[in-house]
Structure 1
Amino acid sequence: MKVLVIGASRGIGRASVQTALEDGHEVRAFARSAAEMTPLPGLEPWPGDATKAADLAPALKGVDAVVQALGIKADLSMTWREITLFSDATAALVPLMEAHGPDRLICVTGIGTGDSWQALSSLERIGHSVVFSKVYGDKTRQEDIVKRSSLRWTLVRPTILTSNPRSGRYKVLVRPETWRMGVISRADVADFVIRALDDDATVRTSPVLAR
């Protein structure tokens, strides 16, 4: 496939770029800082703003699937400032994909988003509410936009992220009664993301990922 990865310069996005290239895909790597990426065979850096339809539209041309793996810099201000990056970017992306394609979207959010809130313990909910309420409130809005779309979507909800290497050993928890907190490496999240691209069984599912 030729895959557009949005949020390609850091975190799960960067890991998804690496995994896709290792697995033989071509990658169009979309990020504000894409011009600074190291040239690699199969990699097409594509600078742009993920919230602007004018930047996204040309990036979508000729790709078979989209991975949206946006993130923000974690700091104390995220506990009080309004966050709209995730929903703004998704509101710009989804109508373009519905109108012009491709129709395959993998969107990375996180446990605690949407109905996965029920998987958190009372103590975890307190921590989430204090530290991550603004972030995950916007990720919930992001998920709602995706779920209302006509796209062949998968919502990926990783648990606590680590920097461990790709192992391929993790749980894909699809049924709500199995959802739980845990840990998983960014590289293993990327492993699932790239495997899911052509796995029809993952379409319109919202799995939680954990070791």
Structure 2
Amino acid sequence: MNITVIGASAGIGLLAVEKALESGHDVIALSRNTDALPDHPRLKKINGSSTSKETLLKATQHTDAIVITIGTKQKKGTTLFSDTANALVGISGHLRADIPILWVSGFGVGNSKPFLNFFMKMVICLFLRDQYEDKTRMEKIMEESKLKWEFIRPGILTDGPESDYEVITSLFKSMKVGKISRKDVAGLLIKEAEQPTMLFHYPVPVSRK
């Protein structure tokens, strides 16, 4: 199948590209700079911004699934996530109606905020507040669209190996959301791209360790 990865040059995005290629898929990788991506006969690289409708149209032609792993180092006033959501909704008429859009959000976004533990609450408050507020706006834009979305909400990301993890799909008191490796999140994204089972949900991958 054809999988588009938006935000493909580092972190979860790069790992998702590698996982998709290992699984035999064709990949369209969109990033502002694709130099870090490997050369591969089944990989098409596109340099550009996720907030550009023109670039998104180019990256999503003939695709069967869209994986979004965009991130930013801008801590204050970012609108990257909501701008990307608006651009995606803006081209929705050109997308196949059945394409799943699998977006890495974060635990603490939207209705999961009250379920944060004290440590994660402090980290987000001190360093990531504006990013998480914009991710909340992004989720709302997508929720109100006709697109088939799924928001993966990991906790604290690590560079550890793949692990034994479970996926929580509901919020409950005293739920424990700790560390999860980027490799695990990338694997979940490609698994859901191949066979979406949690559309219109907010899966939280949690390591069993």
TM over 0.5: yes
Which amino acid is 1:170 matched to?
Answer: Y
Change over 3 Å in CA distance of 1:122–1:161 after alignment to 2: closer
Stretches of structure 1 lacking an aligned partner (at least 5 in a row): none
Q: State the percentage of identical aligned residues.
A: 36
Whole-Å Cα distance in 2 between the matches of residues 84 and 66 of structure 1?
A: 20
- 1:107 aligns with 103
The aligned runs of 1:110-121 (5 Å cut-off) are 110-121=106-117
Stretches of structure 2 lacking an aligned partner (at least 5 in a row): none
Higher mean displacement: 100-109 or 175-184:
175-184
Q: 122, 126, 133: which is aligned to 1:130?
A: 126
Whole-Å Cα distance in 1 between the matches of residues 36 and 69 of structure 2?
A: 18
**Cα distance, 1:10 vs structure 2:** 0.7
Specify which structure has the higher proportion of helix.
1
Q: Secondary structure at the match of 1:39?
A: coil
Q: Secondary structure at the match of 2:128?
A: helix
Contact residue 35 and residue 46 of structure 1 kept, 8 A:
no
- 1:15 aligns with 15
Q: Secondary structure at the match of 1:99?
A: helix
The aligned runs of 1:27-176 (5 Å cut-off) are 27-35=27-35, 37-73=37-73, 78=75, 81-96=76-91, 98-102=92-96, 103-167=99-163, 169-176=164-171
Whole-Å Cα distance in 2 between the matches of residues 61 and 201 of structure 1?
A: 23
Which amino acid is 1:136 matched to?
Answer: Y
| 1:180-206 superposed Cα distances (whole Å, 9 cap, x missing partner) | 321111010001011011334211110
| 1:7-34 superposed Cα distances (whole Å, 9 cap, x missing partner) | 0001111111011111111100000112
Whole-Å Cα distance in 2 between the matches of residues 55 and 124 of structure 1?
A: 35
Which amino acid is 2:18 matched to?
Answer: Q
Contact residue 35 and residue 45 of structure 1 kept, 8 A:
no
TM-score of the superposed pair, with normalisation by structure 2: 0.91
Alignment of 1:203 with 2:177, yes or no, is no
Which amino acid is 2:190 matched to?
Answer: I
Which amino acid is 1:135 matched to?
Answer: Q
Whole-Å Cα distance in 2 between the matches of residues 36 and 16 of structure 1?
A: 13
Whole-Å Cα distance in 1 between the matches of residues 66 and 15 of structure 2?
A: 15
Q: Secondary structure at the match of 1:112?
A: coil
Which amino acid is 2:84 matched to?
Answer: A
